[in-house]
Amino acid sequence: DAGVTQSPTHLIKTRGQQVTLRCSPISGHKSVSWYQQVLGQGPQFIFQYYEKEERGRGNFPDRFSARQFPNYSSELNVNALLLGDSALYLCASSLAVAGGQETQYFGPGTRLLVL
């Protein structure tokens, strides 16, 4: 079975631009989470979606938004890009939302560079 897939793998943008990152979960998984991993740090939680509804939001500005589609794939949008948004963006999927015990399976990430 295919794992979590993300596109694109790499992206270069300039300050002020907007970017959309895409994620397809493992077949059968209904929950998708997004994380930002700045170089040299651990991943930071951005959003979680389950059954197309937002179930959690991390401490990120409103420039960050996301949505989940009926096929459970997801998009992360970032507007008005800043240099500090340069990072590896990771998508993770899980079967459901079950009080924290569900294993999350991570994709390879999208590496975003903002110039």
Partner 1 sequence: AQSVTQLGSHVSVSEGALVLLRCNYSSSVPPYLFWYVQYPNQGLQLLLKYTTGATLVKGINGFEAEFKKSETSFHLTKPSAHMSDAAEYFCAVSDLRKAAGNKLTFGGGTRVLVKP
- Binding residues for partner 1, rule: CB under 8 A, are 4, 31, 33, 35, 40-45, 48, 50, 55-56, 58, 90, 92, 94, 97-109
Tell me the two tokens of residue 74: 């997801």
Q: Categorise residue 28: left if φ over 0, alpha if ψ from -120 to 50, beta otherwise.
A: left
Residue 17 Cβ, how far from partner 1 at the closest point, in Å?
Answer: 24
First to last CA, the chain: 37
Q: Is the CB of 79 or the CB of 102 nearer to partner 1?
A: 102
Nearer to partner 1, 79 or 104 (CB): 104
